[in-house]
Homo-oligomer: A and B are copies of this chain.
Amino acid sequence: MIPLAQYLADKRALVDAALDAHLPAATTRPAVIHEAMRYAVLGGGKRIRPIIAIAAAEACGANAEPLLQHVAALELIHTYSLVHDDLPALDNDDLRRGRKTTHVVFGEAMAILTGDALLTEAFGWLATPIEGVDPLRQLRAIREVVFGVDSTGMIGGQVADIIAERSQEKELDHNALLDELEFIHANKTGRLLTASVVLGGLLAGATETQLLALREYGRATGLAFQIVDDLLDIEETAEALGKTAGKDIAQGKLTYPALVGIEAARAKAAELLEIAVRNADKMPGPVNYLAQIARYVCERRS
């Protein structure tokens, strides 16, 4: 097997090419929305959701090339969520991946519609038939993605996060805060990550047992990712991470280490990583980068 860094770079190039090929041309009428969609999507990003879906499909023994448009749809959905989260009414962020956010460049109205258009487009890509894949499986894959990002999933996590920031957290006891934080963690990014892994498995013809392992892998990896994110914010210096380091604490934001302590948070992340690896190793394919990707996600230092 090639080194992980090369694997990630190769797959990222494939995903980028699929995004570019399948997004409507910037000249499509009306041009401005198509320029905005391409601006938002093609401005960089690790493409971790499509890549983890590809890795899941390969871990099931499938060739992921015929699935590229479908896994790229996950990036459309992730991007739509960023475009909307960055809006003034939500996080009010002007910068994303080192570039001006969509609403700064195209205006607020167009950013709202751009997010809407990316979400819509994603389902068109997911509903495109794939030769050799049972269409009932494809319908199930769509429902899986919906479950990942609906009002009980990714959107639900974002809603809970907004409520938590606005409410007087001191009124809740420790257990209630932990429960709230775990809901946010599990949903805000965890559910789409899990859906990505399961999508790859579904389209690759995974058995129900394999799908359960993939789901558990996705859940553990997603939660570990969040805890590591919280830890990074505390541990890293302002130099290494840029201006945002310590931002969570400054904002009095609910984080895992703040609630249980740094050591317990580290132990929890390690435990989750172990669950992820154990489930990754259950997959039958000869090409299986899932365990390495989980480690990468948990050991990143930037």
Instruction: Flag if B151 contacts A123 (CB, 8 Å).
Output: no
**Interface residue? A113 (CB, 8 A):** yes
Chain B residues whose C-beta falls within 8 Å of the C-beta of A240 in the assembled complex: none
Instruction: Flag if A139 contacts B129 (CB, 8 Å).
Output: yes
> Please, what's the 1-or-0 string for A20-35, where 1 marks a CB less than 8 Å from any CB in chain B?
0000100011101110
Q: Separation in Å of the A16 CB from the closest CB of chain B?
A: 20
Query: Which of A37, A152, A159 is packed against the most chain B CB atoms within 10 Å?
Result: A159
Using a Cβ–Cβ cut-off of 8 Å, how many residues does chain A contribute to the interface with B? Answer: 52
What CA separation (Å) do A124 and B109 show in the bound complex? 26
Q: Which of A7-15, A142-150, A255-263, A291-299 contacts B (4 or more CB under 8 A)?
A: A142-150
Instruction: Flag if B89 contacts A120 (CB, 8 Å).
Output: no
What CA separation (Å) do A84 and B158 show in the bound complex? 18
Q: Separation in Å of the A40 CB from the closest CB of chain B?
A: 12
A29 in complex: contacting residue of B116, B123, B183, CB < 8 Å: B183
Query: Which of A24, A127, A142 is packed against the most chain B CB atoms within 10 Å?
Result: A127
Chain B residues whose C-beta falls within 8 Å of the C-beta of A112 in the assembled complex: 84, 87, 89-90, 112
Given A112-B87, A143-B124, A146-B127, A30 and B159 touching (CB < 8 A)? yes
Instruction: Flag if A139 contacts B117 (CB, 8 Å).
Output: no
Instruction: Flag if A151 contacts B90 (CB, 8 Å).
Output: no
Instruction: Flag if A151 contacts B109 (CB, 8 Å).
Output: no
Given A139-B127, A146-B127, A116 and B113 touching (CB < 8 A)? no
Given A116-B84, A159-B113, A28 and B151 touching (CB < 8 A)? yes
> Please, what's the 1-or-0 string for A105-135, where 1 marks a CB less than 8 Å from any CB in chain B?
0011110110111011101100111000011
Q: How many copies does the complex hold?
A: 2
A155 in complex: contacting residue of B29, B80, B120, B136, CB < 8 Å: B120
**Interface residue? A82 (CB, 8 A):** no
**Closest residue to A135 on the B side, CB-wise?**
B135
Q: Which residues 155-213 of A sit at the B interface, judged by CB distance below 8 A?
A: 155-156, 158-160, 162-163, 183
**Closest residue to A134 on the B side, CB-wise?**
B135
19 additional contacts, CB 8 Å, given A124-B147, A135-B139? A29-B156, A29-B160, A29-B183, A32-B163, A33-B156, A33-B159, A34-B151, A87-B112, A90-B109, A109-B162, A113-B159, A116-B155, A119-B119, A121-B150, A127-B127, A127-B139, A128-B143, A135-B136, A135-B138
Across the A-B interface, the 6 shortest Cβ-Cβ residue pairs: A124-B146, A89-B108, A127-B142, A117-B151, A135-B135, A123-B123
Q: Point out residues on A near B: beta carbons under 8 Å.
A: 24, 28-30, 32-34, 37, 80, 84, 87, 89-90, 107-110, 112-113, 115-117, 119-121, 123-124, 127-129, 134-136, 138-140, 142-143, 146-147, 149-152, 155-156, 158-160, 162-163, 183
